Structure 1
Amino acid sequence: MKVDVVSDIHLDFWVTVKVDESLHRQAVSLFIEKIIPKQPSDILIIAGDMGHYNFQNALLLNELSHYYKYIFIVFGNHDFYMLNSNYFEKFEKDSMNRWNEMREIIDAIEGVYVLEGNKITVDNVVFGGTGGWYDFSFGQMYMHATLPRIKKAWYKLSNDSRLIKGEPTDVIKFSNCEKEKLFSIINECDFIVTHIPPLLPRLLNNQYNDISNSFYYMDIGDHKEKLSQKTWIFGHTHVRKDLVAYGCRFVNAPIGYPIEGEIEKKQIVTIEV
């Protein structure tokens, strides 16, 4: 089976928001033409962080649905962001309200599905996942940092602490809820999709003394021993990876930000399993 994979699109960094919807749709279409493979697969996985504006994400998904029979999506941290006072007012200072609106938009687009503790079978292949959430475990395990020190760094260094409101800001509790969803389906999945990657040595980027890594990974405990023959699609780190650990193939195919490289070098990736 061939599957197309992408994450961290951050659409509004690449496509300027326009008042005229027709012009905006054209701009989104041109963006898609730059990143889509010459021969798209039937299935696209988006591992979180579409963009900061739901209406713009809707344009993206509607256009992508013309190319793909199935699109599977999990949320990323930026899908919770509220960038201005209008968003704060509209969503009542609760990032989950923004994501719930996005879910309703997705549910209305044929062939596009949210993975959030559920699984979907296509041609006898099981896709499942959820966005996941970091749990500060990196700092505790690799730097022996105390939880208060890690939380202080999070408030100082992470935009999540400023631009996300509501449930996700109770980091440990929200992470535990997300892991509970994931662990309830992980054994049955052929493809696992999360935004947050699991905390595994081979997925780290050789920055073992950077406390901000505490905001990028989640500890999956003994579940790593049960991943053989699976494929795990993730995002968040903006470093492209395709490697095997614990018998599982891990793939990250971020678009990222313009400052990180030209769009022509950041196409959606096709993998075959």
Structure 2
Amino acid sequence: MTFAILGDTHFDFHLNANAPVTESLFDMRFKHFLEASPADVLLLPGDIGHYNTQNLECLKHLRRYYHHIVVTFGNHDYYLPGESIVSRYKELGGSAGASRARVEEMKAMIDAEEGIDYVDGTVIDINGIRIGGASGWYDGSLYISDGEKTHADVQSIWRWKMNDANMIHPTGTNGAKFDDLFHEQKYRLDAVYQQCDIMMTHVSPLSEWEQFKVMYNYQPALDQIDHKYSANHEALKEYRAFYCFDGKEYLENGSMKHWVFGHTHQRFHRTYTRQDGKTVDIHCNSIGQLVGKNTFGLKVIEL
């Protein structure tokens, strides 16, 4: 069975959120690379888009290309863009929180569709291949584990520099912490990591600065051309702390053969070798914005 990886679709980046998504309009935007790499199942590891109704319309159009679609939810799937949307989901969410209400609404919409599923502390079995996962979330470990910064330091960076602090409700101004959703998600990962062949999270399980050097094509030689290059690139490390979590315990002890993530808007592959000699292939294939990505293609794996 073949599985195509398409992360960070952000459908409202490409389509008018206030207009119906017709078949012809959807195909004009996406058909060229969907047909170029056919597969049985589509894996979409979060950041579907900012608007649930449009998200569902687009997932139904994707269903024309695949026997099955499995998604999880990313930070942008929690975003509430605009006061009217915040107010609406506050009424729906109550004490659980407005952003969580939006995700629960999206789950209910998906539950009503044939051939589209989500993983959120659950496992989906498709012809004997088990896909498990959850959103996963960043935990600040890229900084905290080496003693470089404290939890309070990372909280301050998140509060002042990350859209998540303002777009996910309750927001950072109301006492929310950058790792609240990590702690909320962890027990969901605990429930599935030994039960799946493919693990899917929105956030990378590799809490390593070396990963981002590879992913973002870090080139020390450019220091010789532009002395500001290194400083500017290292500044990205502050943001990358919110692009990963320490997933080593899951990689070392899980049943997965593949781990699929998104969030970075990059293409990435690494074969992770465990202490027992077994390997896990870790993949990211995110579209983000189509601008400058005329050669974008799907990543297809086979099990």
TM-score normalized with structure 1 length: 0.90
Shift of 1:167: 8.8
In the other structure, the counterpart of 2:193 is 186
Deviations 1:135-179 (A, max 9, x none): 111111246111111111101110000111039944334212212
Deviations 1:233-256 (A, max 9, x none): 000112211220121001101001
Which structure 1 residue ranges, 5 or more long, are not aligned? none
Contact 1:17 1:24 in 2 (8 A): no
Asked if residue 110 in structure 1 is aligned to residue 142 in structure 2, the reply is no
Which structure 2 residue ranges, 5 or more long, are not aligned? 91-96, 214-232, 274-278
In the other structure, the counterpart of 2:57 is 59
Please show how residues 144-159 of structure 1 align to structure 2 within 5 Å: 144-159=148-163
Q: Please give the alpha-carbon distance, in whole angstroms, between the structure 2 residues aligned to 1:107 and 1:149.
A: 40
1:41 to 36, 39, 42: 39
In the other structure, the counterpart of 2:262 is 235
Please show how residues 1-273 of structure 1 align to structure 2 within 5 Å: 1-19=1-19, 21=20, 24-38=22-36, 40-92=38-90, 94-142=98-146, 144-166=148-170, 169-201=176-208, 204-206=211-213, 210-227=237-254, 230-246=257-273, 247-259=279-291, 261-262=292-293, 264-273=294-303
**Structure 1 residue ranges, 4+ long, deviating more than 3 angstroms after superposition:** 23-26, 166-171, 200-203
Is the partner of 2:194 in helix, strand or coil?
helix
Shift of 1:64: 0.9
Letter paired with 2:184: C
Shift of 1:47: 0.5
Contact 1:32 1:64 in 2 (8 A): no
Q: Please give the alpha-carbon distance, in whole angstroms, between the structure 1 residues aligned to 2:127 and 2:56.
A: 27
TM-score normalized with structure 2 length: 0.82
Distance 1:106 1:238, change over 3 A: same
Q: Please give the alpha-carbon distance, in whole angstroms, between the structure 2 residues aligned to 1:98 and 1:229.
A: 29
Shift of 1:208: 6.3
Distance 1:81 1:213, change over 3 A: same
Letter paired with 2:2: K
Shift of 1:68: 1.2
Letter paired with 2:116: V
Compute the RMSD of aligned alpha carbons. 2.2
Letter paired with 2:63: S
Letter paired with 2:124: I
Distance 1:234 1:39, change over 3 A: closer
Larger Rg: 2
Tell me how many residue pairs correspond in the alignment: 269
Letter paired with 1:205: F
Distance 1:14 1:228, change over 3 A: same
Letter paired with 1:172: D
Contact 1:14 1:258 in 2 (8 A): yes
Q: Please give the alpha-carbon distance, in whole angstroms, between the structure 1 residues aligned to 2:210 and 2:133.
A: 18
Q: Please give the alpha-carbon distance, in whole angstroms, between the structure 1 residues aligned to 2:37 and 2:203.
A: 28
Contact 2:193 2:256 in 1 (8 A): no
Is the partner of 1:188 in helix, strand or coil?
coil
Q: Please give the alpha-carbon distance, in whole angstroms, between the structure 1 residues aligned to 2:199 and 2:246.
A: 15
Residue identity (%) = 28
Shift of 1:204: 2.0
Deviations 1:41-65 (A, max 9, x none): 1111000001111111111111111
Distance 1:90 1:127, change over 3 A: same
